[in-house]
Structure formats: structure tokens, C-alpha cells
Amino acid sequence: MDALIVIFITGLISLFVGMLKKPYLTLGIIASGLVLSFCLQMNYGNYTSIFSKYDNLYFNITQLYFSEMAIGFTLLLVLGGFQYFKQDIEHTSDYLSLLLFSLCGAICLIGFTDLFMFFLGLEILSIPIYVMVGIKKQDVLSAEASLKYFFTGSFATAILLFGIALLYGATASFNLATIQEAIQSGSYSEPMLLIALLFIIAAFLFKVGAVPFHFWGPDVYQGAPDIVMAFMATVVKLAAVFAFLKLYAGTFQFLSEFWTGALNIAIILSLFLGYLSALRQTSFKRMLAYSSISNTGFALFALLTTSPSSAGSLWVFLVAYGCATIALVTISMIIHNVDDKIAAFKGIGYKNPFIGFVMIMSLLSLSGIPPLSGFFGKFLLLSNAINDHLYLVILALVSSAIGAFLYLRMIVLSLAKETENTVEKYPISILQYIVLGVCTVGLLGGWLIIIL
Amino acid sequence: MNPTTTNLSASIEFYILLSCVLFTIGALGVLVRRNMIVLLMCIELMLNAVNLLLVAFSTYYGQGDAQIFVFFIIVVAAAEATVGLSILIMAYRNNKSTDVGLFKTLKD
């Protein structure tokens, strides 16, 4: 709770500091605010807060880990994207504070204990992103992406709300614990509850971008600015997947025979449609968007088991995925990939070995090669599900092979010899070095999980 | 699940039916219509159908919390309409049209 308030106040302060037009001052305030909230979350429970009586937000150890991940990713994105934000000196702080407000929503969505906070968190998460996607006002693509995201997003919100209303009608409560009790004791009106579950699962699949409702993803990712796209692929996705996990694998777990069928279909379609569509893309961001659909399919494996370790394996998977995405997007910004082409990465390993190394590490991790974090994430998720859903795991391995082809093709591209002999130097700011370094540590440190 | 003795002139089923009909009209409108402003209005209609449903359930159960939820929804709908209208204006400046069918630059 304190972390949430610190983030919100930091966002407000940076909005006002923005009037001074000193981007480095704004960056300092934002970064220190995020670090402070990160430390507050680390020490959650070790101190008595004046808000500790507020029980609509509750963080146990899993929720703390997820909210720290969200804060950490936002910090990395703020640092990595600062070069980009700084170009538009009038609006640097607007960008950054919108990111922070959206992060507030993500934290609400991680820590909610009733549907009030859940709904508010989802909206606080989404509304700043509608704005941020369209923040390049003169850009036709950006405006179109923003429009598409807004209409599809608010349509999904309306469907979610109808689901919540029916859920309230079926169980007479908004509190997750009370709803779970009502389901367990059987004191609910069955048809309404089941319809509510379908409405809510549809809205969730939309928000995480899984297949039957994925159509907005590639368009919006392509039109959005790089950093906003990375924010959507990491923080938004992790918050939405975690809320999905909490609601379905937690509150509705006794109705699982009803909703697992729908979820299985969504997972299978996501796994294959994402990677197969990614294979024929030439746009880098579109490729990332389609591969993020498949990665969502992997992340949804956490919902299939109610074992307590599934949240932990989801965490490992999302850390690996987030670090790889942030590293790739940062590299794309470093090489000024304005045209958004995959071909722009050609020969990057020769031009700048450091960038090449980070890029190869993140691609290998995304494809799930053993010593890297991505492998451990996928391994933990799939090994949790292997007992009950063997055929799903086999399909996931097949799709993983397609994904490996996709990523290895990019590695080959990045190691290709340059035909025309243009030696360009890419200036990397110290902040981008830090971001790439942290991401590499995140990618290489996955084996620590096994030891711990 | 004991309905409290409130003076509901019609039973709860009618309210559920009415809000389902309103919601469906809104959803169909979003799917069928092409004008962005009408789309925005249809989404508002869907949200208001939810509001009606929540208020009806709130009276049915004799609890106040769904009515509080309605206030939250109204506030969020206002925020969404604000953002939506400004996005709409931005899109209109780029395209000189409010027809959503014209936005097809981004595709495979």
C-alpha cells in the first residue's frame, strides 16, 4: 500500500516538475520514487504502516514478488527509454508519469482482495496506456493503434463488468474470500455464475492477449512507441496474467472442470498461432507481438494447476520473458530502428559485440535453451502441468520448436557478415548499458532458482 | 439467498432481462456500427446496462456495496469517455473522418 502511494505521488510530482523542462531532474525523481517503492515492498511487513488496516489490498510473499517485478521492469523501461523520452522535452514528464500511473494499476491488480480493487486496478492500468499508445499525435500509425486499443479495450471492460455484475448476482458478494466460500458451500445461483465466469475469462483473455481475442495485439504493438510496447508486453501482461491466476486458479478453482476446457483451447491456439504468424513478419515489433502471444500461451499453463508452486514458476518465466523483451526493445532503440524492420539487426554482432551478446542471450532465452532463465521458466511451468495435461505439454514442446526456429533465424541474422562495408558506431548511453546489463544478469541467473 | 422484503414492483428477472437486452444492443452496436462516436455511445450503453443490473441486485440482496460499485463505474466511464473523445479527435485530425473502417493501415 505504501509503495502504491509513493508511486502515485512520484507521478504527480513529476507532472509538476515537468513544467521546468529539466528531463534529468524528472528522471531522478522518478527513479528514486521507484527505488523507494521497491524497497518499501521488500520490507513489507517489517514496519507498521498507517494504511495497514486497509484490507482491500493485501500482499503475501507471492504478490510481493510480482509487484517487485512490476516495479523493477518499469524502472528498467524508464531508464532504457529515457533517450527516447528526452527527444520530446515538452512532454518527457507526461510520458514518465503516465507510466507510473499505469504501474499503480498493475500493483492494484496484483494485490486485490475484492472485485472493487480488481476493476479499478484494471482500469487504472489500461486508461494511461490508451493515452500512451497514441502519444505520437502526428503519427498516423500511432493514432490508429490508440483508437483500436481504446475501442477493443473498453469493449472488453464492459464485458468484464457484466461478468462481475452477474458474479455479484450469483454470490451476493464482491469479496474474493466470500465468493470462494459461497462456491464451496454451493450457495450460489448456478447459471448466472457460469455465465459470469465465461464473460470474465473472455475479458481476461483479451487483456493478456491470448488467441481468440488477440487480434488487437500486433496492430497496437506495431503502432505504439517502442517503450510503451515493451511496457505492454511486460508489466501489463504480468499484472493481467497474475490477476487471472489469482481469480481462476484461486477463487474459482472448485469450478475448474467448467473453465479449463475453454482455457485449454485458448492455450493451444495461442501457442501455435502466435509463433506461426510471427514467422512471416518483417516488422520487428509485429514479430515481438506475435511471439508474445505464444509466450502468453506458455504463461497460462500456470492456471492449469492449483499447486502453490505454479505462481513461482510463472514468476521465473515472466522475469525471463520480460528481461528478454526489454533487452530487445532497448537494442532496437539503440540502433535507431525507426523503420521497425527485422533486417535492421543484420550484422549487429560484428558492429557491436556487446549488443550482439545481449541480443543473442535474450533470443536464446526466449527460445528456451538450457542454461538461460527462459529454459527454467518453461521447464517449471510445463513440469507442473505434465501430470494432468500431458497432451498440452507435448503441444507446447512442438510450438517451442517452432519458436526456436524463429529466434535462431534472428540470431543468424545478427551474426551475418555485412555485405556493404558500412562501419557504424552506435552510441549507447550509460543508462542503456545499465539496462542491458541488468537484463543480461536476469537472463543468465535463472539457474539460481533451482538452487534456492 | 433470502431476498429481503423491499418494495420491488417488478421481480428481479425483469431487471436482469432488461439489462441483458440493453447490453446486447450495446454490444451489437459496437460490432455493427462504423461511426466512432456511435461506438463510444454503444460502449456507454453497455456500461449503463451493467449499472442497472448492479443496482437491481443490490436492492434484491438489500446490500449497499453494489451501489458503491456503480459510482466507481460511472467515474471510470467518465474517464474513459474523456480519453476516448480525445483519441477520437486525434484520429479525426489525421484521417478527416469518423468512420472506423478507414483505419486499416496496420495489418498483416
Report the residue of chain B nearest A126, measured CA to CA.
B80
- Is B41 a domain residue? yes
> Has residue B8 got a pLDDT over 70?
no
- Is B107 a domain residue? no
Angstroms from B12 CA to nearest CA on chain A: 10
CA–CA separation, B12 and A342 (whole Å): 57
Buried b (16+ CB within 10 A) or exposed e, A18-51: beeeebeebbebbbebbebbbebbeebeeeeeee
pLDDT at B99: 86
Mutate to test the interface with A, among B35, B36, B72, B87 (most CBs of A within 10 A): B87
Sign of CA dihedral A370, A374, A376, A378: negative
Band of pLDDT at residue A149, cut at 50, 70 and 90: very high
pTM metric for this prediction:
0.93
Report the residue of chain B nearest A195, measured CA to CA.
B20
| ipTM for this prediction | 0.91
Angstroms from A58 CA to nearest CA on chain B: 20
Residue A341 phi/psi, 5° resolution? -110, 145
> Has residue B85 got a pLDDT over 90?
yes
pLDDT at B50: 95
CA–CA separation, A242 and A208 (whole Å): 10
Q: Quickly list DSSP for A121-190.
A: HHHHHHHHHHHHHT-STT-HHHHHHHHHHHHHHHHHHHHHHHHHHHHHHHHS--BHHHHHHHHHHT-S-H
Identify all chain B residues contacting A121, using CB atoms and an 8 Å cutoff.
Answer: none
Band of pLDDT at residue A211, cut at 50, 70 and 90: confident
Instruction: Count A/B contacts: CB-CB distance under 8 Å.
Output: 125
> Has residue A421 got a pLDDT over 60?
no
- Is B26 a domain residue? no
- φ/ψ region of A139 (left if φ > 0, alpha if ψ in -120 to 50, else beta) reads beta
Q: What is the mean pLDDT of chain A?
A: 88
Q: What confidence tens digit (pLDDT) does each residue in A278-336 have?
A: 998 888 899 999 999 999 999 999 988 877 788 888 999 999 999 999 999 998 888 87
C-alpha A4: how far from chain center: 18
Amino acid in the structure at residue A49: S
Band of pLDDT at residue B57, cut at 50, 70 and 90: very high
CA–CA separation, A420 and A406 (whole Å): 25
> Has residue A103 got a pLDDT over 60?
yes
Amino acid in the structure at residue A228: V
Band of pLDDT at residue A187, cut at 50, 70 and 90: confident
Identify all chain B residues contacting A166, using CB atoms and an 8 Å cutoff.
Answer: 53
Task: Decide if B45 contacts B26 (C-beta within 8 A).
Answer: yes
B76 and A123 within 8 Å at the Cβ level: the answer is yes
Identify all chain A residues contacting B91, using CB atoms and an 8 Å cutoff.
Answer: 143-144, 146-147
Say which CATH number the domain at B82 has. 1.10.287.3510
Which stretch of A77-81, A345-349, A409-413 has the lowest confidence by average pLDDT?
A: A345-349
Identify all chain A residues contacting B90, using CB atoms and an 8 Å cutoff.
Answer: 134, 137, 143, 146
Angstroms from A117 CA to nearest CA on chain B: 10
Interface of B with A (CB under 8 A): 1, 16, 19, 23, 26-27, 30, 36, 39, 43, 46-47, 49-50, 53-54, 57, 60-61, 63, 65-66, 68-69, 72-73, 76, 79-80, 83-84, 86-88, 90-91, 94-95, 100, 103, 105-108
Band of pLDDT at residue B81, cut at 50, 70 and 90: very high
- Is B27 a domain residue? no
Task: Decide if A346 contacts A413 (C-beta within 8 A).
Answer: yes
Higher pLDDT, A115 or A426: A115
- Is B72 a domain residue? yes
Domains: count for chain B: 1
Angstroms from B38 CA to nearest CA on chain A: 11
Interface of A with B (CB under 8 A): 115-116, 119-120, 123, 127, 130-131, 134, 137-138, 140-141, 143-148, 150-151, 154-155, 157-159, 161-162, 164-166, 168-169, 172, 174, 187, 189, 218-219, 222-223, 277, 281, 286
> Has residue A420 got a pLDDT over 70?
no
Short-list A112, A115, A75, A110, CA closest to A96? A75
Q: Max Cα separation, chain B? A: 58
